[in-house]
Amino acid sequence: MIFAIAAVFLFFPPFGVTPWSLGIVLFFLYLGWTAVQIPFQAWSGEVSGDYHERTRIATYQQVVAAAALLLTLVLPTVADQLRPGDGRLQLTLMGGLVLATIVPSLILTLTALDEPPLPIRPASKPGLRETFRAIAGEPLLLRVLASDFAVTLAQTIRGSLIVFFVTFYMGRPEWAGGLFLFQFVFGIFAGPIWLKIGRRYGKHRTAVAGELVQVTINLSLLLVTPDSFGLLLALTLAQGLAQGSGNLMLRAIVADVADKHRLDSGEDRTGLYYSVFSLAGKTATAVAVGIALPLVAWLGFDPKGANGPEALNGLLLVFALGPAIAHALSAALVARFPLDEAAHAEIRRQLDPEPPDYAFAE
What residue type is 20 in one-letter code?
W
Mean pLDDT taken over the chain:
85
Q: How confident is the model at residue 360 (pLDDT cuts 50, 70, 90)?
A: very low
Average pLDDT value for residue range 325-354: 90
- pTM summary value: 0.84
Quick one: pLDDT at residue 321? 96
Greater model confidence, 328 or 51: 328
b/e burial code for range 109-135 (CB count within 10 A of at least 16 → b): eeeeeeeeeeeeeeeeeeeeeeeeebb
Res. 63: pLDDT tops 50: yes
**Angle value at C-alpha 36, between 30 and 42, nearest 5 degrees:** 125
Q: Which residue has the higher pLDDT, 356 or 53?
A: 53
The per-residue pLDDT for range 263-288, each reduced to its tens digit, is 998 888 888 898 899 889 889 999 99
pLDDT tier at 256, thresholds 50, 70, 90:
very high
Instruction: Return the number of other C-beta atoms located less than 10 Å from residue 195's C-beta.
Output: 23
Residue 121 clears pLDDT 80, i.e. is over it: no
Spatial distance between the Cα atoms of 229 and 231, rounded to a whole number of angstroms: 5
pLDDT 10s digits, 143-183: 999 999 999 999 999 989 998 999 999 998 888 777 877 77
Rounded to a whole number, what is the distance in angstroms from the first to the last CA of the chain?
27
> What pLDDT is attached to residue 179?
80
More reliable by pLDDT, 17 or 318: 318
**What is the mean pLDDT of the segment spanning 305-315?**
90
Give SS3 for 360. Answer: strand
Residue-wise DSSP of 180-224: HHHHHHHHTTHHHHHHHHHHHH-HHHHHHHHHHHHHHHHHHGGG-
What does the pLDDT average to over 96-117? 80
For residue 18, what are the contacts with CB-CB under 8 A and spacing of at least 6? none
DSSP code at position 270: H
| pLDDT value for 164 | 92
At 290, is the pLDDT very low, low, confident or very high (cuts 50, 70, 90)? very high
The one-letter code for the residue type at 154 is A
Q: If you average pLDDT over residues 231-258, what whole number do you get?
A: 89
- Please give the pLDDT value at position 361: 37
| Confidence tier at 250 by pLDDT (50, 70, 90) | very high
